[in-house]
Each structure stands twice: as structure tokens, then as C-alpha cells.
Amino acid sequence: MPEGHTLHRLAAQVNRLFAGRHWRVSSPQGRFSAGAARLTERVPERAEAWGKQLFVHLGGDIWQVHLGLYGAFSFRGDESFTGAASLGAPRSRAEQYTPRYDDAGWIIPAPPAGSVRARVQVPNGWADLRGPAKCQVLNPMQYQAVIVRLGPDPLRQPEGATDQQLLEQFRGNLDRRRISIGAALMDQAVIAGVGNIYRAESLFVEQLDPDIPVQQLDAAQVASLWETLTGQLRTGVAEGIIRTLRPEDPLLGARGSDRNPRRHWVYQHQGTPCLRCGESIRMRELQGRRLYWCPGCQRR
């Protein structure tokens, strides 16, 4: 499932390519026909991400997209539609396309490939949305009802809020839970945007046992975890990938000179020696998702 950094990159791309421009919206698959009719022939004002949710604002209508496990946006167009990367679940490479235009000067898109839930188009390009968990149009009250249930997103700072206030919100959300920190980080009402990879990697860096109850974490541990997650997510936005392990990381010690090509400390490395302590990395199911951790580094 795409994690929070992907959605923030997606929002930035939608803003760059579509915001402030007259667009057309359709639903080749048919499952979003009513929503597309509300959005088409209008001008999107802005896109924003909150955790794993994308919101595109058009006056009193807000288009909500949650990519889920299989959702993805693909972008195509002419040479002026540059730098448009596909974002979300991996997709097969699109066939070569030679731009053609109608009499009004709008590009003629390639025929939809697969089940396209929504297609948005401007004169020089288009984007196709496939396989989302959610794709619907909200009114302002419905939008507020969604975001009020979301925890703080380390990648967004609401107007008037400070990093310290977001940290306090995170700490307060943890205080109201009676679950492990490994479970809490996957709860989007506790912290928005963290997924399976960031959970595993942040807990490893902080040397926190995933099974420790959140009530047993002191203020310094919560603050350090928030700082680590914030840094990891911001790096993900900047680089477009989740890379939590770097050859120069001081935690690697002498191994840093090996320029190990791994991108992660523990995620999907079960059964291999921990690069920090040598213990075998483990994996198990937690609430239907795979949890990765090092029993040597992450002890209570």
C-alpha cells in the first residue's frame, strides 16, 4: 500500500499539472460516472494529501481518493506534460503513444487500458486512476468528518499549528490506546501516513520492541519516534522511494564501507542477520499485516 510520502508527491503532481486549469473528468469503467459528472468541465483549485488520503478541491465539492493496496495514478501526455510519474501500486509499462489533437486543440488520449475508475484530462495530457479503495465526491461536511478522524500527518502542518503541537496530538492519541506501539503506528487515527515499511524501520531505528504497550513509552521515546518518522517521511517525499538504510549511517559502523545496496534495515529481511547486532531478523503477522523486527536490537 502506498505510504504517506507517495500521496504527498501525488498531491504536488496534481497541483502542478491540473490545478487552475479547466479539465474534463470521465469514468471509462463506469463505477465513478456520477462523481465524474459532478467534477467535469470545472477548474480544480488545489490538491492536498492527509496521510494516505488525496483530496482535490473544486469549490464545494471535494474529490476523495484512497489508493489502498492496488490503486495507482498513471500520467501521460505530450512533451509539455513533463515530469509526470505514475504513482501508487506498480503498473506495467504503457505502450508508446504519439500525441494527436482534436479540433479544439485538446490531446486525444490513448484508449483506456484495464479498469480505469476515473480519467482526468487537460489540453496537453491526462491521468488515469485504477484500483482505488475509495473514489468519491464529498461535500464540506463530509470532508470534515473524514479529516477529523485522522491523526496528525508529519508531512503537513495545519495553519497555526507547530511541530510541537503535532507531537502533543500524537502523544495524546497514544495515551488513549491500550495497544502495542506496533499496532498503534498502523492506526491512521493515531498518526496519518505511516504504513508497514515506515512502522518497521522507525521502530528498529528507535530500538523499540513492537509489542511494548504504548503506555510504557516515556515522553522522550515518543518524541524521538515522532522525529524519526518525520525525517523518514520527508526523505521519502524528496527522493520518491522509501530508503531508510544508507551506507554512511553511523548505526552500520564498519559495515558502512560495504555500500550495502539494501534500502531497509529489517523490512522484508526476515531470516537474515541484523546489520547492527547480528541477530536473525524476524517476521510475523500483526493485525493482518507482516511485522518485521530484530529481537536483538528491539528488546524491552
What's 298's DSSP letter? S
Last residue in a domain, options 90, 112, 147: 147
Q: Enumerate residues 6+ apart whose C-beta is below 8 A from 227.
A: none
The predicted structure's pLDDT at residue 260: 59
Measured CA angle at 81 (ends 76, 84), to 5 deg = 60
- The grid coordinates of residue 110 equal 490513448
- The grid coordinates of residue 129 equal 486512476
Domains contained in the chain, number: 2
The predicted structure's pLDDT at residue 187: 96
The predicted structure's pLDDT at residue 80: 87
Whether 123 and 175 map to the same domain: the answer is no
Give the other-Cβ count within 10 Å of 74's Cβ: 20
Last residue in a domain, options 118, 147, 176: 147
Q: Give CA 123 to chain center in angstroms.
A: 28
Q: Is the whole model's pTM more than 0.95, yes or no?
A: no
> Catalytic amino acids?
2-3, 52, 289
Query: Which residues in the chain land under pLDDT 50?
Result: none
Alpha helices (H) in the chain, listed in sequence order? 4-17, 33-39, 140-147, 163-175, 181-184, 196-205, 219-239
Judged on CB neighbours under 10 Å (0-12, 13-18, 19+), 35 is buried
State the residue range of the domain holding 111: 4-147
Question: Considering the domain boundaries, does residue 158 fall inside one?
Answer: no
Whether 169 and 103 map to the same domain: the answer is no
The predicted structure's pLDDT at residue 300: 78
The predicted structure's pLDDT at residue 159: 61
The predicted structure's pLDDT at residue 162: 72
Taking the C-alpha atoms of residue 239 and residue 221, their distance in angstroms, rounded to an integer, is: 27
268: CATH: 1.10.8.50
123: CATH: 3.20.190.10
